[in-house]
């Protein structure tokens, strides 16, 4: 499967929802997890989320920065919305 096909599938299966803090965080963590699992290069991943710590969009980060950002967002989701966290990570 090509990267282009993966990106199209991600946009359809994991849309980014900017309506509330819960939906933004949930959709971003879910999308980042799917991008990582599908081996999408960081530069081609969504730049929807921007780190307040570094000021960088997720798709402009180094590998280590991206992993730290993903981990921090995942922990925030787990802390603030455990039921939504469970929808992603209890599968």
Torsion, Cα of 70, 53, 64, 82 (10° steps): -20
pTM (2 d.p.): 0.82
The model's pLDDT over 67-87, given as tens digits with 9 standing for 90+, comes to 999 999 999 999 999 999 999
Residue 20 belongs to what domain range? 3-89
* CA separation for the pair 78, 4 (Å, rounded): 31
Asked if residue 40 has pLDDT above 90, the reply is yes
Task: Supply 67's token pair.
Answer: 């992993």
The alpha helices in the chain, defined as continuous H runs, are: 3-13, 21-37, 63-80, 82-89
Q: State the total domains in the chain.
A: 1
Q: Say what the pLDDT of residue 91 is.
A: 65
The model's pLDDT over 17-30, given as tens digits with 9 standing for 90+, comes to 778 899 899 999 99
């Amino acid at each position: 499967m090509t990267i282009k096909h993966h990106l199209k599938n991600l946009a359809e299966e994991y849309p980014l929802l900017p309506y509330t803090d819960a939906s933004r965080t949930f959709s971003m963590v879910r999308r980042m997890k799917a991008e990582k699992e599908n081996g999408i290069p960081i530069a081609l991943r969504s730049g929807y989320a921007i780190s307040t710590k570094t000021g960088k969009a997720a798709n402009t980060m180094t590998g280590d920065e991206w992993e730290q950002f993903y981990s921090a967002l995942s922990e925030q989701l787990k802390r603030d919305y455990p039921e939504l966290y469970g929808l992603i990570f209890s599968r």
